[in-house]
Chain A
Amino acid sequence: MKTKPKPKPMGTIGTALACAGLLLCSNAYTDSVKIGFVTTLTTPAGVIGKDMQDAVNLAVDHLGAKMAGKDIEIFFEDDGFKPEIGKQKTDKLVKQDDVDFVTGFIWSHVLLASRKSALDAGKFLISANAGPSKLAGKLCHENFFSTSWQNDQTPMAMGEVLNQQNVKSLYVMAPNYAAGKNMVAGVERTFKGEIAGKDLTKWGKDAQLDFSAELAKAKASGAEGLFVFYPGKAGGAFMKQYQQAGLVESLPLYTVFTVDSIALPKLQGANMEGVLGSRNTMFWSPDLDTPGNRKFVSGFREKYGKYPSFYAAQAYDSIMLINSGVEGAGGNVDDMDAVRSAMKQANFDSVRGKYTYGNNHFPIQNFYLREVVEDADGNWTSKIVSTVLENHQDPYAAECKL
């Protein structure tokens, strides 16, 4: 047997790995607050992640890059719109970067997949968007917080609006994933009329974007209203097809998370006048008059020259919530009990104004009916019409044993 030990290539690979390791971990022992932010930066949904990233950077600016006198370090990670990648990135954040907080998460399925990695590692997990029912109920956790809403809440508010407007029958469309199913469940929970039909369409990176067949079905169903939930680019596509199909008059549209500040400039560019006046429910609006929101919206418009989306508002709040926790613990991030009890107070200038946390750490907050309008400069934006639900708590809180 000829054996010529040649450790060379392995040596180089080993050295390379070690070097990479040193580079990546050189700041492991500095005294700073480390926050991992998992969002979508590639794929078309990357535009949402960009908005959140902008808001996080704005929040860091507003905080003077310090929390309780410590430097803020933010690690942005791209989940690529895929649950397993999101989980991998969360693993990396907690194991390699040793972050104190993991936040972000646009998508319910990414959050559900990543939850265990963050919580098992003893880190705080803060959702800045996704609010799947499981995390509000059975899977609630003392170290999990939300700065958004539970998925069912916003459509529940819409259900109330539909009742107020005396809509008798409703056609429902949503993407076929965790949040979509929650949204449908939410509207069915409060809507008192009849559900004339329902379509759950393919979601994910190869999401269905041509809704011709579904719109034809909705029209044929004879429903008095159409409820949809299509976040991100699907929202813009849906709105266009809805208008092109000429349904604006015959089948009034009620949306949640579909017409947002990301879609509006594009819809305006495509002359989709039918969007103006369309109504949706939400916990927040750019024109909401609270000190925190004024500072956030004006700061965001000044820095980035556009209206922030609700994703941005929630991302901004997630950093502010963390700040309130870190300050409450006097800067000692390792004192998780102190951080947790401070965060539970929600004692900061939230963009939505004062709110409280329920036992499951989801906000108890107001929900508003909003309308799409043209602002003084001719840009399309959303404006609050009325308050639909006051201090509303999600329906899953009772299932949470905290």
Chain B
Amino acid sequence: MTGSQTNPPQEPDRDTQGKSWGKVSGSTTVYLGIIVLLGFAPPFLSLINEPFYLDLLSRMLILGIAALSLNLILGYGGMISMGHAAYLGIGAYCVGIPAYYEIYNGFVHLALAIVLSGIFAFLSGIISLRTKGVYFIMITLAFTQMLYFTFVSLEEYGGDDGLVIELRSEFPGLFDTENNTNLYYCIYLTLLGSLLLVHRLIQAPFGRVIIGSKHNEERMRSLGYNTYRYRLVCYVISGILCGIAGVFLGNFTSFISPEMMDWTHSGELIFMIVIGGVNSLFGPLIGSMLFIFFEEWLSGITVYWHFIFGLMLIALVLFGKGGINGLITALFGERR
């Protein structure tokens, strides 16, 4: 008995598959509007002299990329990974460890992150993807815990205490990431690229196989697709994308520790996706923005803010099917 067999296919998927480039629905217009506004955020925030909100937005976008990458396997592929924070950690350590040896070249950092998160995704994917349902949840968690404890034991790189990154990644001749606005735009452009990539992947036949094997793997297999391979490729792409988000996270916080890979962070990424709406392209981004907004806002009100957060989670599942995406679609629109 596996997750994919007991669950009836959810309807909204069909729409995402069926959309073509030409038509833009009302909800998409709203999302695109938000994306455009995000592009104007730095000058606006410097105008009203609120540099802290730029930090907040940067974090939102970085985790937005991470949640987007997780949604590729979780939302479209039905692979619930409880270990995606591993890739954030890999990406961040790919900045921190070279920086420890005074290698600050950002291209080196990015290349390392892509290669290493790809390798980690590939190796863990080979084993994990043979399992289904809750076994998959647990084995992804196990791999992340192994990585977590590996970094805890790496005394040279701070162990449990983490590592302070003295200088951010340098992109000589391009831009200076020590400037927060530059870093923000760097993240912003990466986010745009990631959105485009995920959109194209899902529209392509590749995406159809992934979505198809979520609902009925037997059928896809009988159609001649090697679903295991498709899933593995999808898993690796997702890992690499999240690793890139990790590079930005490391740069942004200028500090890394194994804590970044804690299983609760993987849970938070899932939470973000569900707030925004599973199966939606923009949902994870909106979810991460709301998540961080609430986290920041509620934690300022009371030390007991986790209670409100917990209730929100429960209410979201019980009553809020489809997340914010469902709401926006209902308000603005027409899916067909």
Contacts and interface: CB of A to CB of B under 8 A. Distances in A.
Contact of B259 (A14, A84, A116): A84
B328 A9 contact: yes
Nearest to A82: B259
Given A5-B33, A109-B257, A92 B52 contact: yes
Interface string A1-23: 11111110110001001101100
A176 B159 contact: yes
A4 B26 CA distance: 7
B249 to A, nearest CB: 9
A5 B30 CA distance: 7
A21 B160 CA distance: 35
Given A83-B259, A92-B52, A95-B55, A109 B161 contact: yes
B257 to A, nearest CB: 5
Given A9-B30, A20-B297, A84 B253 contact: yes
Given A21-B48, A84-B260, 13 more contacts: A10-B33, A17-B53, A83-B259, A84-B162, A84-B259, A95-B52, A96-B50, A109-B162, A113-B257, A115-B164, A116-B164, A116-B255, A202-B152
Interface string A26-51: 00000000000000011000100000
A92 B34 CA distance: 25
A177 interface: yes
Contacts of B37: 10, 14
A6 B255 contact: no
Interface in A95-114: 95-96, 108-109, 112-113
A112 B164 contact: yes
A356 B328 CA distance: 63
B52 A204 contact: no
A178 interface: yes
A5 B306 CA distance: 36
A67 to B, nearest CB: 25
Given A5-B29, A10-B34, A84-B259, A177 B159 contact: yes
A14 B23 CA distance: 28
Interface residues of A, number: 42
A2 B24 contact: yes
B244 to A, nearest CB: 19
A50 to B, nearest CB: 10
B169 to A, nearest CB: 16
Contacts of A202: 152, 160
B55 A83 contact: no
A91 B52 contact: yes
Contacts of B33: 5-7, 10
Contacts of A348: none
A6 B159 contact: no
Interface string B43-81: 000001011110100000000000000000000000000
Contacts of A113: 162, 164, 255, 257
A88 to B, nearest CB: 8
Contact of A6 (B22, B26, B51, B52): B26
Contact of A3 (B29, B257, B303): B29
A18 B328 CA distance: 22
Most buried by A among B50, B52, B254, B257: B52
A78 interface: yes
B175 interface: no
B82 to A, nearest CB: 16
B29 A178 contact: no
Contacts of B253: 84, 87-88
A70 to B, nearest CB: 23
Contacts of B161: 83, 108-109, 112, 177-178
A82 B293 CA distance: 19
A136 to B, nearest CB: 16
Interface size class of B (residues with CB under 8 A): 35 or more
B98 to A, nearest CB: 18
A396 interface: no
B299 interface: yes
B107 interface: no
Nearest to B257: A83
Contacts of B171: none
Contacts of B34: 9-10
16 contacts: A2-B23, A2-B24, A4-B332, A10-B33, A14-B37, A17-B53, A18-B48, A83-B162, A87-B254, A109-B161, A113-B162, A113-B164, A116-B255, A177-B160, A178-B161, A204-B259
A-B pairs, top 5 by smallest CB distance, nearest first, are A109-B161, A96-B52, A95-B52, A113-B255, A178-B161
A203 interface: yes
Interface in A113-130: 113, 115-117
Contacts of B152: 176, 202
Contacts of A17: 53, 293
Contacts of A115: 164
Interface string A197-220: 000001110000000000000000
Contacts of A14: 37
B36 to A, nearest CB: 9
B149 to A, nearest CB: 9
A19 B254 CA distance: 30
B24 A3 contact: yes
Contacts of A95: 51-52, 55
Contacts of A87: 253-255
Contacts of B22: 1
Nearest to A97: B52
A177 B159 CA distance: 8
Contacts of B159: 176-177
Interface string A290-321: 00000000000000000000000000000000
Contacts of B53: 17, 21
B52 A78 contact: no
A9 B31 CA distance: 10
A5 B33 CA distance: 8
Nearest to A2: B24
Contacts of A84: 162, 253, 255, 257, 259-260
B29 A6 contact: yes
Most buried by A among B48, B255, B328: B255
Interface string B143-168: 00000000010000001111010100
